[in-house]
Amino acid sequence: STGDNGTDGGSDGYEIALITDKGNIDDKSFNQGAWEGVVEFAGANDISHTYIKPEEASDAGYLAAIDLAVQGGAEVVVTPGFLFEVPIYEAQTAYPDVKFILLDGAPHTADYSVFETKDNVASIFYAEEESGFLAGYAAVMDGMTDLGFMGGMAVPAVQAFGYGFLQGAEYAADDLGLADGEVEVTYHYTGNFDENDTNKATASTMYQEGVEVIFAAGGSVGKSVMSAASEADGKVIGVDVDQRYDSETVITSATKGLAASVISVLESIYNDNWETYSGKSTYFNATNDGVGLPTEVLGEEGGDAFDRFESFDLAAYDEIFAELSAGNIELLRQIEVADATGYATADELTEALGLEKVDVTTR
């Protein structure tokens, strides 16, 4: 591509570049998590870093943004999200000397005929279903029987959170010996990842209907849910990162170690053990502490991260987490969904996830 200006005007450029997908780096999701990782690592090691927003939200546009970053001097390019799968497939060949960290995706061609992760690419995945499972389990174990789920759009990561959440609730209801249908879950996708009055109103309505806690798995959707919760005295389960600091209403968060994983990969690059991640997909899950509920409170030595629960506590958590990491619990990450929107019906969910104690309503 042309773009010589990229180098001559841009002083010495930036060594680590993050390309955002459609959102900004405060999207409470992939962009933000990855960026926090970049900042933390680069800050500690005094490495120049920047983020770039593509001009156009298309494969070609993302590729152009990568071009721009590389021309601007980037040696490591971080691309958060599966939308970069196709662009990275192209870029890994075009820029063999640049290292790519692709979160939540693996490089492939547009028609999915060829999957290939070259040596200069690290592909990272997260087991969201496990994180969601822990959240659902904790809520029901704590005595809540009326739950809500508000996902953003029905993308695989969000779906996995939701399915995990349902399975966790079912598992806990089973443990507690609740009757069939005694746990009710209202299951909803907002269709966006924004904070807006629609999302707030939807959450308010759920609380009004008697929902005790809503698992908000959709980036900034969480802000709307927290706002509704604080008005309605409801509770919220955060997502991706520990959101207890955003609002009193957040009892726990289904986290995945976005920042931590980025830092790990960056460390491997700068500490010369790139081969740990190079050329393959790595899963972050309970086994390698890649997902889970927060167990520590920032800046509070020995603080109780479960203090916002009635009864569920660290001990109970450790127990179920051990089960999970031991591989004793089988979880579904994906189910068959008929609707084009990717929104599963109540029947599909009940059927595929084998729900008995849990009664799902979709919205």
Partner 1 sequence: MQGNNNADKLKFNIKNITSHSGFKSLGAALMAIFLGLVVGFIIMLVARPENAIAGFRFVLLGGMGRLGDVLYFATPILMTGLAVGFAFKMGLFNIGASGQYTMGMFFALYVAFNWDLPGSTHWIVAIFAGFVGGMIWGFIPGIFKALLNVNEVITSIMFNYIGMYLVDMWIQNNGVMYNSSLTRTRYIASGVQIPALGIAGSNVNLGIIIAIIIAVILYIVLEKTTFGYELKATGHNKHAAEYAGMQGKRNIILTMTIAGGMAGIGGAFAILAPSAIAGSSMTYEPINIIAANGFTGIAVALLGNAHPLGTILSATFISYIQRGGTLTSLVGFKPEIIDIVVAVIIYFSAFAMIMNSAIARFIKARLGKDDEKPLQETDSENEENTVEDEEVIKKETEKEAE
Partner 2 sequence: MDVVYYLIQNMLPIGVPLLLVALGGMFSERSGIINIALEGIMLFGAFFGALFVLLVQGSSMGPQTILLIGMLVAGISGLIYSLLLSFASINMKANQVIVGTALNMLIPAMILLFSKMFFSSDGITTSKSFYIREIPILSKIPIIGELFFQRTYLTVIIGFIILAISVVVLYKTRFGLRLRACGEHPHAADSVGINVYKMRYAGVSISGVLAGIGGFFYAVGVMDGNVSGHTGVAGFGFLALAVMIFGQWKPIRIMFAAMFFAFLRTLAYSVSLIPFLFDLGIDQTYYKILPYLATMLVLALTSKNSRAPKAEGIPYDKSQR
CB 282 within 8 A of CB 124: yes
Half-sphere exposure of 334 (CA within 13 A, CB side): 4
* Cα gap 61→53, rounded to integer Å: 10
Binding at 246: pick from partner 2, partner 1, none (beta carbon under 5-8 Å per type) = partner 2
State which residue, 333 or 363, has the beta carbon closest to partner 2. 363
Is 196 a residue that touches partner 2 (CB under 8 A)?
A: yes
Distances (CA, A) of 93 to 17, 97, 119, 262: 18, 9, 10, 22
Measured CA to CA, the distance from residue 50 to residue 71 in angstroms comes to 13
Contacts to partner 1 from residues 318-357, by CB under 8 A = 337, 339-343
**What number of chain residues touch partner 1 (CB under 8 A)?**
49
Residues in region 20-39 near partner 1 by CB under 8 A: 22
What lies within 8 Å, CB to CB, of 27 at 6+ separation is: 193, 219, 220
Nearer to partner 1, 84 or 165 (CB): 84
Binds 10, which of partner 1, partner 2, none (CB < 5 to 8 A, cut-off by type)?
partner 1
What φ, ψ does residue 185 adopt, rounded to 5°? -125, 125
Instruction: Give the type of residue at 215.
Output: F
Pick from 200, 244, 256, 357: which binds partner 2 (CB under 8 A)? 200
Binding-residue pattern over the window 344 to 363 for partner 2, x denoting contact by CB under 8 A: -------------------x
145 binds partner 2 (CB under 8 A): no
In the complex, the smallest distance separating the C-beta of residue 345 from partner 2, rounded to whole angstroms, is 12
Instruction: From 24-32, 63-71, 309-317, 351-359, give the range in contact with partner 2 by CB under 8 A.
Output: 24-32
Among residues 25, 52, 183, 241, the one that binds partner 1 under rule CB under 8 A: 52
The number of beta carbons lying within 10 Å of the beta carbon of residue 53 is 15
Q: Which is nearer to partner 1, 155 or 346 (CB)?
A: 155
Max intra-chain CA distance, the chain: 70
Interface pick for partner 1 out of 72, 164, 218, 219 (rule CB under 8 A) = 72
Residue type, 16: I
Q: 346-353 vs 156-176: helix axis angle to the nearest 10?
A: 60
The item of partner 1, partner 2, none sharing an interface with residue 230, based on CB under 5 to 8 Å by kind, is: partner 2
For every residue of 30-66, DSSP letters joined together read HHHHHHHHHHHHHHHHT--EEEE--SSSSHHHHHHHH
CA distance 225 to 266: 34
CA 39, 45, 49: angle at the middle one, nearest 5?
Answer: 40
Instruction: Decide if residue 181 touches partner 1 (CB under 8 A).
Output: no
In the bound state with partner 1, the residue whose beta carbon lies nearer, of 298 and 338, is 338
Question: Per-residue x/- mask for partner 1, residues 93 to 132, rule CB under 8 A?
Answer: ----------------xxx---------------------
Residues 202-241 as x/- pattern, contact with partner 2 by CB under 8 A: x-xx--xx-------------xx-xx--xx----------
Give the pair of three-digit tokens for residue 6: 């990229």
Question: Per rule CB under 8 A, is residue 50 in the interface with partner 2?
Answer: no
Please name the residues in contact with 215: beta carbons below 8 A apart, sequence gap of 6 or more: 132, 135, 136, 139, 147, 148, 149, 150, 161, 162, 165, 236, 237, 239, 254
Residue 276 in contact with partner 1, rule: CB under 8 A? no
CB 162 within 8 A of CB 317: no
Compare residues 5 and 311 and give the one whose CB is closer to partner 1: 5
Interface residue list for partner 1 (CB under 8 A): 1-6, 9-11, 13-14, 22, 50, 52-53, 55-60, 63-64, 67-68, 72, 82-83, 86-87, 90, 109-111, 153-156, 159, 191-194, 337, 339-343
